[in-house]
Structure 1
Amino acid sequence: MTTTTRDLASRLLGGTVVAASDEAFGDKENLLNPGPVNFVPGSYSARGEIVDGWETRRRRRAGDDWAVVRLGAPGVIRCIDVDTTSFTGNQPVDCRIEACGIEGYPGPEELEDADWQEIVAVSPLSPDQSNHFTVDNPTRFTHVRLTIRPDGGVGRLRIHGETVPDPRDFDYGAQDLASQMCGGLVVDSSDEFYSTAESLNRPDLARSMGEGWETRRSRDQSPDWVVIRLASRAHIHGVVVDTAHFRYNASASVSVHGADWTGGDASAWSPLLPITKLQPDTRHTFWLNQTGAEAIQSSVTHIRLDAFPDGGLSRLRVIGTPDARGRLSLGLSWWNSLPQSQLGQVLTGMGVAESVAHELAERRSLLGDDVNAVSAELDSYPVAARRLLLGIPG
């Protein structure tokens, strides 16, 4: 049902357009609007016809136009959609796309000197349609640069990929491990008649009933359900079930179960939250150590929420802490996919000599999910590197 990729640049995940060479006719921010292009011909402002996209002036000198995007969720890019919908005579001739990985929150000037890698070579663009480009690069990127030639308009830019979270973010307390920001993924659901279950683990708050998960009216005794793969194997401390905006069709009650599917093997579901009554238009927080649930100390990789008998939910948060195996998996995915320049930034910033940092980058990729085996393999690594990979002092 569900793809493993998402739009890493989406404004819903916090993506933004950092800078652009020109935006005379259409604002650069339009590139990341979550909805489809909605152009209404015949509307004008002092800048010209009002467009729903990024459009530059007619170029009279040699050169190209460009826009730099900071991904809301850094990750491995699989496909890019340069959507020229509504641009029928003013679309660019072609485009080129580069990406980089860099620490912190650099501004436009710092990004000029970043280690940009070409991920889509110069390719023609067709007018008034999505232009899809497959990306074959296993590197984790934080920023993307779209260059259009020589000028023109692009309605939307979608950067589809797989989230690779920064493992350091999990070392300072519990996180919402179901969130798309962390790499949580809706695997399956019983019903998506009115709206998709993928809304449930968005990191933002729903602004209307239309931004939640709503099923058709049930006529049998079975509850509706959704299964979410968590960002890592983890101990679950609590869940947040939000029925915001669902006044007359909220689910009456829910239960939550967890399972450890490590290695792809589906284990039996264990109870985390028993059937619990909900109120409409309300954000409910349930701490599992206060419910009498038996399995809260067990590690799980997936959770299943059952909604009785049907109805609507706006968001689901799963508050947890990665266990040792889960934290190692997060560390390895991040370590192995970092651009070499960013890994050098990380290590030298933690006091590792530049020559040692370079050697460690050359020794990748590390494999395995056995904490003890990998710990032994890391005996020769500096304390800082072990800390990054394992999440514990070396």
Structure 2
Amino acid sequence: MVDSPREGKLARSPDFVQLIDMASESVGGKILFATDDFFAPAENLIKSDSPRFEEHKYTEFGRWMDGWETRRRRTPGHDWCIVRLGVQGLIRGLDVDISYFTGGYAPRISIQAANLEEGKEPAMPPRGVRMGVAATAEELDAVAKRRQREGVAVGLRAVPLTDGGVARLRVYGVGHKDWASADPKEPVDLAAMASGGACVGFSNAHFGHPNKMIVPAGFGAGSVWHPRAHACPLGFQSDETGALLVLGGEWAVFRLSHPGVVTQVEIDTTHFEGPYAPARAALGRLPLGSQGHAVPQLSPNTAQVFDSLTPELQDVVHARRLTICSFCLLRPRDKPMMRFSVKAGFRSSL
């Protein structure tokens, strides 16, 4: 249970916010049910962008708000909704954002979770476009019976008995896969977010976080890593402790979902053409046992699959490093080598 917000801000963000938002619509999150959507629909909770405020924008139901806002209750109970996570996994932290709800925010919340087998989710009444409405008595009764019989995905409940607003719900964690039932001879995407892959370090995320490259299939809209242009040579070196040193290029390090042998690598540059397309890329592994290997020159706007590049890269690995380099007309600047590291607190949260 979380009480009403206090004045001031956290000195630093918790480490778990670097993990994936498993409830986001960008990875398949979905609102299954909500008791009330009068002022603003619950679907706003799982938008991937940050909440915004438009002072002079109104709807037929009142001021437009970028969040989920219910009407004032005149009956016992509280408002709640059910969110189906887009990625099944382990929850490491929650962020309930009440931005711009100054007087009508939900002063308290309660969150419950359940793990349902794939394909056995409870059937819910169709939502459609909902605003200015509340769930009917028949819908509430049907959902109550299904919750008792089959459980819920993730429920957000706002109390006490008043109207209230929440801008966003972020459910941070890591994906999970039942490896005991997996066929070790079948190819599997070891970097996939849904299986537990995660970006644990990067040089730049000016236009998009590297985690966007490993979202579940079918939710690729806007799922790109787009760092700023960086014209410089590619290369790998390690220091006397084996730590990876960066010579140039923009880079991202991915913790693989399971130790494995890499047989193929896919680099997809779809929608990136001209000066926005990376010209070259290189792959390294952690711990660093070689100087890495550059893949053949990349083609723009193409999904490219490369077979395992060197015998060294075919060893069992736990993490991969991708470095990209783009050519531009700007004068390149000398840049000292950087050392990649992961803070202990963040590593333990994975």
- Determine if the TM-score, normalized by the shorter chain, exceeds 0.5: yes
After superposition, residues 96-107 of structure 1 pair within 5 angstroms as 96-103=110-117, 104-107=120-123
Q: Which amino acid letter does the alignment assign opposite residue 152 of structure 1?
A: G
The farther-off stretch of 12-21 and 90-99 is 90-99
Aligned 8 A contact 1:215 1:310 in 2 = no
1:342 maps to: none
Shift of the 225–5 alpha-carbon distance from structure 1 to 2, 3 Å rule, reads: closer
Q: Distance in 2 between matches of 1:90 and 1:250?
A: 46
The farther-off stretch of 100-109 and 58-67 is 100-109
Shift of the 167–48 alpha-carbon distance from structure 1 to 2, 3 Å rule, reads: farther
1:143 maps to: 153
- Deviation, 1:193, is 4.6
1:6 maps to: 20
More helix by share: 1
Q: Which amino acid letter does the alignment assign opposite residue 81 of structure 1?
A: D
Q: Which of the residues 268, 278, 298 maps onto 2:298?
A: 278
- Deviation, 1:297, is 4.8
Aligned 8 A contact 1:18 1:69 in 2 = yes
Matched, 1:180 2:190: no
Aligned 8 A contact 2:207 2:225 in 1 = no
After superposition, residues 195-234 of structure 1 pair within 5 angstroms as 195-203=208-216, 206-207=220-221, 211-219=224-232, 222-234=248-260
Matched, 1:167 2:179: yes
Matched, 1:113 2:148: yes
Q: Distance in 2 between matches of 1:114 and 1:310?
A: 58
Aligned 8 A contact 1:257 1:303 in 2 = yes
1:64 maps to: 78
Shift of the 220–164 alpha-carbon distance from structure 1 to 2, 3 Å rule, reads: closer
Q: Which of the residues 281, 284, 291 maps onto 1:257?
A: 284
Q: Which amino acid letter does the alignment assign opposite residue 174 of structure 2?
A: E
Secondary structure in structure 2 of the residue aligned to 1:105: coil
Shift of the 111–301 alpha-carbon distance from structure 1 to 2, 3 Å rule, reads: farther
Q: Distance in 2 between matches of 1:270 and 1:182?
A: 28
Aligned 8 A contact 1:191 1:216 in 2 = no
- Deviation, 1:12, is 1.8
Aligned 8 A contact 1:87 1:154 in 2 = yes
Aligned 8 A contact 1:217 1:310 in 2 = yes
- Deviation, 1:60, is 0.9
Secondary structure in structure 1 of the residue aligned to 2:26: helix
Q: Which amino acid letter does the alignment assign opposite residue 163 of structure 1?
A: G
2:289 maps to: 268
Secondary structure in structure 1 of the residue aligned to 2:317: strand
Q: Which amino acid letter does the alignment assign opposite residue 226 of structure 2?
A: W
- Deviation, 1:218, is 2.5
TM-score (norm 2): 0.69
Shift of the 18–206 alpha-carbon distance from structure 1 to 2, 3 Å rule, reads: closer
Shift of the 47–169 alpha-carbon distance from structure 1 to 2, 3 Å rule, reads: farther
Q: Which runs of 5+ in 2 are unaligned?
A: 1-12, 125-142, 235-247, 329-350
Aligned 8 A contact 1:185 1:229 in 2 = yes
1:384 maps to: none
Q: Which runs of 5+ in 1 are unaligned?
A: 117-141, 260-265, 312-394
- Deviation, 1:189, is 2.5
- Deviation, 1:274, is 4.2
Q: Distance in 1 between matches of 2:272 and 2:167?
A: 33
Q: Which amino acid letter does the alignment assign opposite residue 160 of structure 1?
A: Y
- Deviation, 1:235, is 2.2
Matched, 1:26 2:46: no
Aligned 8 A contact 2:82 2:154 in 1 = yes
Secondary structure in structure 1 of the residue aligned to 2:100: coil
Q: Distance in 1 between matches of 2:306 and 2:109?
A: 49
Q: Distance in 2 between matches of 1:28 and 1:310?
A: 44
2:50 maps to: 36
Shift of the 199–169 alpha-carbon distance from structure 1 to 2, 3 Å rule, reads: farther
